[in-house]
Amino acid sequence: MAHEISFTPCALIALTFALSLPACAATVRNAPAALAASAFNGDAKSDWSALSAGQQQALAPLAADWDRLDSAHKNKWLAISNKFPSMKPEERSRIQNRMREWVKLSPQQRRIARENYWRNKKNQF
C-alpha cells in the first residue's frame, strides 16, 4: 500500500539542508578509516564534552541532542564542523539555522526527510 508523504515546513527545510550538502556527504564517505572506526567504537568524541571548543561552537544547535545521535550522524556533523572555520559568516549562519530546524523535527519527520533525500539522489543518476 502506497502512503502519501506530506511535509511540514520544518521537514522541507531539513530536506533542503540535506540536499545542499553533497560536499559534506562526500567528506564523510571519504573519511579515513581510522576516524570512522574510532567514532563507531565509542571514541571520546562521542560525548559533547569531549568536542573541541570550535566543534561545540559550530554544532551548538545540536548540543541538547548530541549524546543521543548515533556515530554515523555524529561523523556527518563533525565533518561539517571541521569545515565551519573556513565558511563565510552567512554560510555559518545558514547551516546553524538549518541545524536548529533539524532538531525541531520528530524522529519520523527526520526519517522521511532522509528517505526523500536518498530517493531524490538515486533518481539523479
pLDDT tens for residues 3-45? 444 545 555 555 455 445 544 444 444 444 334 333 433 443 5
Q: What is the largest CA-CA distance in the chain?
A: 48
Q: State how far the alpha carbon of 15 is from the alpha carbons of 37, 38, 62, 105, 119, in Å.
A: 28, 28, 17, 11, 11
Give the Cα separation of 112 and 28 in Å (integer).
21
* HSE of 62, CA atoms in CB hemisphere, 13 A: 27
Q: Averaged over 51-72, what is the pLDDT?
A: 94
The reply to whether the predicted model has a pTM over 0.75 is no
C-alpha cell at 95: 547551516
